[in-house]
Chains A and B, each alone.
Chain A
């Protein structure tokens, strides 16, 4: 009987894995997965697999420093695993927004500690205290075409015109691919406000070099 139940549980885990891979991961799956992870911490890894790219992309875009981003991501997931049992699923605070809030708080902690992190707001691309310039190649290790590389460079350069909130909402929307409800929960803003911020931010960002 117990063997049957265990087998059923493993089969369900496998189906959840497949759902994640097929990108059919949705709130209903996630809620069940979170409930299981709260009982069995090993199940947390499925949530990790889904959210790692999103958290990493968001953090990297904010700090623009690979090592710092890796530190923040590691701290985020460690804390999430520690606090998972005390997490309560609510309509206004699902797991994704909770995780991103942890990541946000970690980012702020890093700023306070004065790590080698600067959020874009300065006139130039940020540099480390020893004046070593940050190149796109340091952030992105994947082989890219020349045109693509220039486009991305242009985008990152344009993003310094944005204020902190606009950069954050751009990061959550297009780098982490969150939906507007989750972004509203993470940033604690109304969806209308987010829409206005996004439109304004998109207007400021230039993609083409000739523009």
Chain B
């Protein structure tokens, strides 16, 4: 039984009172009419005011306030746009073969040549090498391609940072420089042999779990023209050295001999530098320069914003439809929970108020 219900005695009393009330309200029509006339006379003697309604601020403030609240809510829960990452997403192989072939055919470098190699090739009028020259060099030296690889990796666990660092040694390479950005990201610059590149990438995928958590961009320099030019120069200089040595052997005049010896020394130095450059280029060709940027990404329940949440599911790739639905669902629910926590101090009093009103209504329902 509802505790607000009346007992039979109370029910009877209520019914009786209502009946009596109805009778009393219908009473005294005479006085009602007489008083009406008196009031009508009184009212006629009173002045009439203007028909213009007084301005009600609440009619403006309430809609404006509601609109403002809706706008604030929309801004608060709007998903933020993600960062743009470089292309070549998810491809395990560097997409440079096309560029290499093109530059091999034209003989020009794919990108601007670095200063260290060009300064020693001073008499090469242009970067161009003929197709025949390039092919001849390839036959002799193989593909001379200096590859630089820039890889961004998302790591969910701190242990993965160390594992990735150790991968260089595991691939017969070495780390040239290293910097730790506060524990949430790490930059590693290292070198690994070209033949170990596949092994390195497989290892990386094995650590982070999927290709979608890595992105890479690669670029490189075609060194074939450089090596051709250097070889030509070396040959020239060697010939000049041989000629000078013969002249020195045949020279009787001391001062002339001294002068020739100075020239020989210069040529020998020049040759040594060229050979050093060639060695350096060949080293660079044999090793891949890797710039690895490891970024820590939280798990989906720890993600701080929409972008992190998206990355925790899809990494650097575009999420599938199902993933998008899931990501947006989690995001909206998390925002609602945040909103709930902000408005908690409003909700509790509101719920108390609602409960009181409901209780009052139930109380008086029985009494009505």
Contact = CB atoms under 8 A, between A and B. Distances in A.
**Do A and B bind?**
yes
B79 interface: no
A177 B364 CA distance: 13
A34 interface: no
B43 interface: yes
A140 B49 contact: no
B39 A195 contact: no
A44 interface: yes
Nearest to B16: A207
Interface in B1-47: 6-7, 9-10, 12-21, 23-28, 31-32, 35-36, 38-40, 42-44, 46
A101 interface: no
A93 interface: no
A11 interface: no
A157 B273 CA distance: 128
A9 B51 CA distance: 10
B28 A56 contact: yes
Interface string A138-162: 0111101000100110111010000
Nearest to A44: B43
A41 B17 CA distance: 35
A interface bracket (residues with beta carbon within 8 Å of B) = 35 or more
Interface string A172-211: 0111110110000000000110010011001101111001
A65 interface: no
Contacts of B26: 53, 142
A87 interface: no
B37 to A, nearest CB: 10
B40 A199 contact: no
A199 B10 contact: yes
A74 B35 CA distance: 7
Nearest to A59: B24
A60 B367 contact: no
A211 B14 contact: no
B36 A45 contact: yes
A56 B21 CA distance: 10
Given A35-B53, A41-B48, A173-B367, A54 B25 contact: yes
Nearest to B25: A53
B13 A202 contact: yes
A199 B32 contact: no
Contact of B21 (A9, A48, A176, A179): A176
A57 interface: yes
B50 interface: yes
A170 interface: yes
Nearest to A211: B9
A204 to B, nearest CB: 8
B324 to A, nearest CB: 47
Contacts of A199: 6, 10, 367
Interface in B315-368: 360, 363-364, 367
Given A202-B13, A206-B13, A207-B16, A56 B24 contact: yes
25 contacts: A39-B51, A41-B42, A41-B44, A41-B48, A42-B40, A42-B44, A45-B43, A56-B27, A56-B31, A61-B24, A73-B35, A77-B35, A81-B43, A142-B26, A156-B20, A173-B17, A173-B367, A174-B18, A176-B21, A191-B360, A199-B367, A202-B10, A207-B12, A208-B12, A211-B9
Given A155-B13, A202-B367, 11 more contacts: A38-B49, A45-B36, A53-B27, A56-B25, A60-B27, A70-B28, A158-B13, A175-B25, A191-B360, A207-B15, A211-B9
